[in-house]
Amino acid sequence: MGSGLDCVLSLHTPCSERMSHSPLIVGIGGTTRAGSATERCLRLALDHAQALGCRTLLVSGPDLPTEIYDASHGQRSAKAAALVQALRQADGLILGTPSYHGSLSGLMKNALDYAEDLRQDPRTYFQDRAVGCIVCAEGAQALGSTLVALRSVVHALRGWPTPFGAAVHTAVRPFDADGRVTDETVRKACETVADEVVTFTRRWAAAG
């Protein structure tokens, strides 16, 4: 996966021109632990988007800012600035979160709070962008409520949650010790999220 952030285009540029080469699909999420199930699911989705001809960028859990978002504080840490830039440049997004006590993790919610820095952009927040959602949980009961919560945040940020959301029950251990997916249902779910994000993104570009 390339960073994709070396190509900085004006957000006033028409969508079709911004994506004249290939759309940038950005994955955000995971946990503070590198190689978490959530991060692996995001990688599956982004690998599929890349196979479909997209540029991809993953901002995984360890790369996310841990300082609480503060709208009154103008200075951003290096991690926060990189996150905001990734959100700004994304043509489509895939979000992945573990379920913590029936909802998205604090790390993920805090990362999405940084989207407030896009409030005065020509594309406000996640406007005109498809957003795929992936949720991982060891308890099946938490999957539905967390997926609804994540989609609600996307709606509030003016994004378009894709119809399909991946709910991954990690108690079945869908990855082996080397991080390879062993459950084809999980692979298909993550790839379906990517399919829908890429399809919407390209159709939006064609319409623009």
The answer to whether residue 111 sits within a structural domain is: yes
Domain with 91 in it: what CATH number?
A: 3.40.50.360
Residue range 74-116, pLDDT digits in tens? 899 999 999 999 999 999 999 999 999 999 999 999 999 999 9
pTM: 0.89
Pure H helices in 6-139:
15-18, 37-51, 78-89, 106-113
Q: Is residue 8 part of a domain?
A: no
Residue 3 lies in a domain: no
Tally of structural domains, the chain: 1
- Average pLDDT of the chain? 90
Q: What is the CA radius of gyration of the chain?
A: 16
Quick check: 196 and 130 in contact, CB under 8 A? yes
pLDDT at site 11: 35
Tell me if 4 is assigned to some domain: no
| Residue-level pLDDT at 1 | 52
Question: Is residue 90, in this structure, part of any structural domain at all?
Answer: yes
Instruction: For 169-181, write each residue's pLDDT tens digit.
Output: 988 899 998 889 9
Q: What is the rounded distance in angstroms from the CA atom of residue 197 to the CA atom of residue 52?
A: 11
Candidates 94, 87, 89; CA nearest to 164 is 94
190 within some domain: yes
